[in-house]
A and B are shown apart, each in its own frame.
Chain A
Amino acid sequence: MLQVKDLESGYGSMQVLWKPSLEVKRGTITSLLGPNGAGKSTLLATIFGSVEPWGGKVIYEDRDVTQIPTHKKVDMGIALVPEGKHLFPNMSVYENLSMGAYLKKALVHKEESLELVYSLFPRLRERRNQMAGSLSGGEQQMVTIARGLMTKPKLMMLDEPSQGLAPKLVGEVFETILKMKEEVGLTILLIEQNADASLEAADYVYVMHEGLIKAQGTPAEIKQSADIREAYLGI
């Protein structure tokens, strides 16, 4: 569904991505692991287009989308749930979710998307009229994921969705991600600090370090390799 080939990008004159390549198969959860500063967020942002690619290719559904602007990518079914939430704090939960259905294609399905989102996150139905800025950290994280779902994506890229959450909530987030794959039929590219939980949920794993893919394999393969675990994952 998604192929990334030799992608390069960075900030200013500082190169961050040094030609990583990866593939995300339809209907799977692909997990991207690696230490802080490895360039994981930059990779997702460059795939999405909020960071401009310097070289390489992004192929989505057999189409070269490397230079396609972000709003067109959202329209094509690519969603990014960014690191650090980026909610609209002075809008209600409902307005935040509505913004997810901003594009016409998503707007047509707004009601059914809302039903889906409220069934995955019942709390959000209760809180729908509350300002997003006044929600708890966990609830805000739910809104971020839910808003991504409202764009009616086929591919969902999640950047550390469990960041800063209590262990119990981390479990809930992973359950939701599994549901999104199994019940909603999404393809998922996931960044996680939480390597154990991530290896549990993923179908395939890439390990990133210093802007490069250093290792890849099934979760079982990664777990077996003491080298990889020690060198990059600290587990």
Chain B
Amino acid sequence: MFSEQLIGNLIQGLVLGTIYGMATMGLSLIFGVLKVVNVGHGAFIMVGAFVTLFLFNALGLNPILAIPVAFIIGMALGYLFYYTTIKRLIKAPELATLLATFAIGVLLEEVIKLIFGSEFRGYNWAVGKVSLGITVLPLSKLYACAGSIIIAVLLYLWFNKTRAGSAMRSVVEDSEGARVCGVNVSGTYALSFALGIGLTMASGVLLTMFIPVGINPYMGGGYTLKAFVIAVLGGLASPYGAFFGGLVFGLLENGSYTIFALIPGVEPFALTRFFSFVMLLIILLIRPTGLLSRK
């Protein structure tokens, strides 16, 4: 009975974990290329969620179609914020970009609040469920999981099989080396910021497909924190590391939830969060470069 529940939750955790992973790739990409920690990460997830909500409720658009829409809006926002803000701060001490991305996050939250208000919203996309015996999975969650895997694979192929991808990898490895090879380094910086934001906004769509409720302007903070834990799990600078970090995190979160639920008098959900950050601290103590990283 308990083991069935645990396995059921772990399956849910695996599905959610792929989405978590995908939702952290943008953060890792931006850090890997630009060495900028995007503190406004969760706010972009939130904007992606609102894009989904708006397209679904106002236009009746299938959330799957919201993925490319959010991605393109994200790319555009990424370029906008890169050229207006980040580019000027790239050479300044790290605190400058931390504050700037924090400010961008606040700006996005307040703009969305102005347009949509601050109440919790949701949408109801009835596409059916599949029963796995132990647990029941709505198809929307499976689509989100498949979407995450497809996007991760596409990103992998783009990185490793295209010229633009190899340019970006070379900038990650050594930007001065990339420059003498003829890579347009500043253009690559702009592209990677835009791509990172595009991926993050697309992940906002995927997350609402998994959890279609609780959409509000301030939902991003929790995701920023989770993304930091996941990124550290996977090695901060590697998008694929982030993807696997997401899987591990999803499993641990759901697994520990099941176990904490057994302890009488404990609110398991709160304890799960506590557990995640204890994990972050432990990892930082024993392997500051990340659990799955090479170095």
Contact = CB atoms under 8 A, between A and B. Distances in A.
Interface in B166-192: 166-167, 169-170, 173-174, 176-185
Contacts of A82: 176-177, 180
A80 B173 CA distance: 18
B163 interface: yes
Contacts of A103: 181-182
Interface stretch (A18-26, A70-78, A179-187, A190-198): A70-78
Nearest to B176: A86
A69 B174 contact: no
Contacts of B185: 70-71
Interface string A73-112: 0110001111001111111000100111011001000000
Contacts of A66: none
A75 B181 contact: no
Contacts of B170: 88, 91, 99, 102
A151 interface: yes
A225 B189 CA distance: 49
B177 A80 contact: no
Nearest to B163: A102
Contacts of A87: 174, 177
Contacts of B181: 74, 99-100, 102-103, 147, 151
Contact of A106 (B174, B180, B182, B294): B182
A89 B180 contact: no
A97 to B, nearest CB: 10
Nearest to A86: B177
B183 A71 contact: yes
A99 B176 contact: no
24 contacts: A70-B179, A70-B182, A71-B179, A71-B184, A71-B185, A74-B181, A75-B182, A81-B180, A82-B176, A82-B177, A82-B180, A85-B177, A86-B174, A86-B176, A88-B170, A88-B173, A88-B174, A88-B178, A90-B294, A99-B177, A100-B181, A102-B166, A102-B182, A147-B181
A148 interface: yes
Most buried by A among B163, B169, B182: B182
Contacts of A85: 177
A50 interface: yes
Given A86-B177, A89-B173, 6 more contacts: A70-B182, A86-B180, A87-B174, A95-B166, A102-B170, A102-B181
Interface of A: 48, 50, 69-71, 74-75, 79-82, 85-91, 95, 98-100, 102-103, 106, 147-148, 151
Nearest to A95: B166
Nearest to B180: A80
Contacts of A95: 166
A229 B259 CA distance: 78
A100 B294 CA distance: 25
Interface of B: 163, 166-167, 169-170, 173-174, 176-185, 294
B169 A102 contact: no
A81 B177 CA distance: 9
A99 B166 CA distance: 8
Nearest to A97: B181
A151 B174 contact: no
Contacts of B183: 71, 99, 102
Nearest to B187: A71
The winner among B169, B173, B178 for most chain A CB atoms within 10 A is: B173
A160 to B, nearest CB: 14
A79 B176 CA distance: 13
Contacts of B180: 48, 50, 70, 74, 79-82, 86, 147-148, 151
Q: Which 8 A-B pairs have the closest CB atoms?
A: A74-B182, A86-B177, A88-B173, A103-B182, A86-B176, A71-B184, A99-B181, A102-B181
A9 to B, nearest CB: 15
Contacts of A102: 163, 166-167, 170, 181-183
Contacts of A69: 184
A99 B184 contact: no
Contacts of A100: 181
A95 B165 CA distance: 13
A71 B176 CA distance: 12
Which of B166, B176, B179 is the most central at the interface, judged by chain A CB atoms within 10 Å of its CB? B179
A151 to B, nearest CB: 6
A121 B180 CA distance: 20
A103 B164 CA distance: 11
A85 B178 CA distance: 11
A31 B155 CA distance: 45
Nearest to B188: A71
B169 A91 contact: yes
